[in-house]
Amino acid sequence: MEIVNMDYTQFLAMKQEIGLLIVFIVVFLYDTFLPAKSQKALPGLTAVLMLILTVCGIVFEAVAPETLSKTAFAGMYVSTPVIAALKTILNVGVVIVLIQSVNWANSSFMAMRRGEFYELLLVTLFGMYLMVSARHFLLFVIGLESASLPLAAMVALDKNRYESHEAAVKYILTAVFSSAIFMLGLSFVYGLTGSLYFNDIYAALTGAGVNMMLIVALAAVVSGVGFKLSLVPFHLWTADVYQGAPTSVTSYLSVISKGAAAFAFLVILVQAFGMLYAQLWEWMLYALIILTITVGNLFAIRQKNMKRFLAFSSVSQAGYIMLGVISDGAPVATAAMMFYILVYIFSNLAAFGVIGAIERASGKLSMDDYRGLYRTNPRLSVAMMLAMFSLAGIPPFAGFFSKFFIFTGALSAPGVGTAMYVLVLIALINTIVSLYYYLLVVKAMFIADDQCVIEPFRSSASERLGLWITVAGIIGLGIASWFFSELNVLTATYPLI
């Protein structure tokens, strides 16, 4: 390892982190020093600042992608256009979450904690940036922790509700437990390879055989990240936390946190443990994917609470995202995975947007309350239906394209055997199971002819804006092939390995 002098120019490699930090500081100062009567503008301000950051990311990506290709801190931190694109995808999701949460943040209950929500959210996002960019496990752990711990506080924001506390306690305990296991695995890895740099680990594992300790180490690392992704069997916290957390936090948790963790998982497995692909983690992941998709689907069928329902649906969606990891960082698969995350953000946030609006207006959260919704609130029902169709992978909505591409990506490795075809077949059959429960929602809204308990109401401007954006994404992201093609160009130009 060459010695690199630390100077301030190193920090300039972290363009997006710096941008995010500036947003954070502005929000923090605004929250702390401005009088209470101007605080109502805070949600809008945060959303606008994040939007600016997102636009800057896109502009950089389009105009000068090579300037995004930087390393810092002796290779601990790496940024490439691919990674920057993923961060921008996360930013897009954050902007939508922020828009959708304006109403909730400005409710009288949140008046005292409005700032906390935004500050904690930005800190966790910062942690996710580090997770994605880290090439050294020390930095990765810093990112992982700062992405997990503040989330527990966010889950507990709804402090008058018992479920919110319960969820927060469950979340923090499992988070701490899983990071402990993760770090145990890291100590094994360090003992085996003598380094925590991804590329050093890769080099040390080259040609080395598989031994028991390595298996345990890898299993511990996988379970640590698997917790963030809520892969089965590390998913047990998911439903309770999703249900207990305020809806805005749930939607953030379900898409942004999952997207970041999925990509970080890919980077770790490919760059640090790439040598063990065929021997170890291909099969680990193979089993995990089957378990995750199947169990998530089977549990989702029985759920009546919409948030629990989407929790299990998101468990199984994480399994589909993992299909992008299993082909060992092949460019098409990586692009398909990033595209899947993008589409998943839009689809899931559309669903959560509807749920949030209905919850705010009527307090109803059960699928049975949605019976006959089309007659009272036709627009919300259509938005929900599009979200369900997109999550289920029905054309011409974006979810169809992302599912098709992630399956194609999983089979993209040359000479891929029938085992992988069987995996994809299992995943495909599972999409039918998932279609069943997504259709249950559609059935409740459109076909059931009960008198709907949810009165007609007009959703607020911010909720409508959020839904319009997500619906536009659901319809446009797939048909406009630009997004997927551009991601492919990026991943082909800047491959992970």
Partner 1 sequence: MLTNPLIYFVVIPLLMLAGIGLCNNRNVGAIRAVAVIGSLALLTLSTFLLVDFLGQRAAGADAAMLFVNDTVVWFAPLNIHLAIGVDGISVAMLMLSSIILFTGTFASWKIDQPKEFFLWLILLSTGVFGFFISIDLFTMFMFYEVALIPMYLLIGVWGSGRKNYSAMKLTLMLMGGSAFLMLGLIGIYYHSAADGNLTWNILTIAANDAIPHGWQNFLFPMTFVGFGVLGAMFPFHTWSPDGHASAPTAVSMLHAGVLMKLGGYGCFRVAIYLMPYAAAELSYIFLILTGISVVYGAFCACVKTDLKYINAYSSVSHCGLVLFAILMLNTTAMTGAIMQMLSHGLMTALFFALIGMIYGRTHTREITKMGGLMKIMPFLGVCYVIAGMASLGLPGLSGFVSEMTIFVGSFMHADMFHRVFTIVACCSIVITAVYILRVVGKLLFGPVYDEHHLSLTDAEWWERLSTVTLIIAVAAIGCFPNFFVDLINKTFTPEIFSVLGMTSTAL
- Within 8 A by CB and 6+ apart from 250, the residues are 241, 242, 243, 307, 310, 311, 352
Q: By C-beta, is 291 or 382 nearer to partner 1?
A: 382
Pick one of 194, 436, 455, 472: the residue that binds partner 1 (CB under 8 A).
436
Cβ 468 to partner 1, closest distance in Å? 16
Residue with tokens 């998101």: 314
Q: Which of 44, 75, 395, 495 binds partner 1 (CB under 8 A)?
A: 395
Tokens for 491, please give them: 């991943």
Torsion of CA 300, 127, 390, 308, to 10 degrees: 20
Which of 73, 109, 404, 468 forms a contact with partner 1 (CB under 8 A)? Answer: 404
Question: Contact with partner 1 (CB under 8 A): which of 442, 452, 469, 474?
Answer: 442
Instruction: Answer yes or no whether residue 213 interacts with partner 1 by CB under 8 A.
Output: no
Does 241 bind partner 1 (CB under 8 A)? Our answer is no
- Amino acid making up residue 237: W
* From candidates 86, 264, 411, 496, binder to partner 1 by CB under 8 A: 411
For the CB of residue 331, give the shortest distance to partner 1 in the complex, in Å: 8
Rounded-to-integer distance, Cα 447 and Cα 459, Å: 23
Inter-residue contact 57 to 125 (CB < 8 Å): no
Amino acid of residue 174: T
Residue 421 beta carbon to partner 1: minimum distance, rounded to whole angstroms:
6
Task: Choose between 229 and 325: whose C-beta lies nearer to partner 1.
Answer: 325
Instruction: Please report how close the Cβ of residue 96 comes to partner 1 at its closest, in angstroms.
Output: 25
- Bond into 233 cis (ω within 30): yes
User: What is the longest distance spanned by two Cα atoms in the chain?
Assistant: 71
Buried b (16+ CB within 10 A) or exposed e, 372-392: bbbbbbeebbbbbbbbbbbbb
Near partner 1 by CB under 8 A: residue from 213, 447, 461, 472? 447
Angle between helices 482-493 and 331-362 (to 10 degrees): 130
187 binds partner 1 (CB under 8 A): no
Per rule CB under 8 A, is residue 302 in the interface with partner 1? Answer: no
Residue 443 is a binding residue for partner 1 (CB under 8 A): yes
The residue from 4, 64, 419, 432 that contacts partner 1 (CB under 8 A) is 432
The answer to whether residues 362 and 454 touch, using CB atoms and an 8 Å cutoff, is yes
Task: Please report whether residue 441 would count as binding partner 1 according to CB under 8 A.
Answer: no
State CA 146 to chain mean position distance.
Answer: 15
Site string for partner 1, 325-344 (x = CB under 8 A): -------x--x---------
Per-residue contact flags (x/-) with partner 1 for residues 454 to 493, judged by CB under 8 A: ---------------------------x--xx--xx--x-
Asked whether position 138 contacts partner 1 by CB under 8 A, the answer is: no
What is the radius of gyration, based on Cα positions, of the chain? Answer: 22
**Angle (deg, nearest 10), helices 461-479 and 81-105:** 150
Which CB sits closer to partner 1, 198 or 446? 446
- Pairing verdict, β 70-72 and 77-79: antiparallel
Q: Which residues bind partner 1 (CB under 8 A)?
A: 332, 335, 389, 394-396, 400, 404-405, 407-408, 411-412, 416, 418, 421, 424-425, 428-429, 431-432, 435-436, 439, 442-443, 446-447, 481, 484-485, 488-489, 492
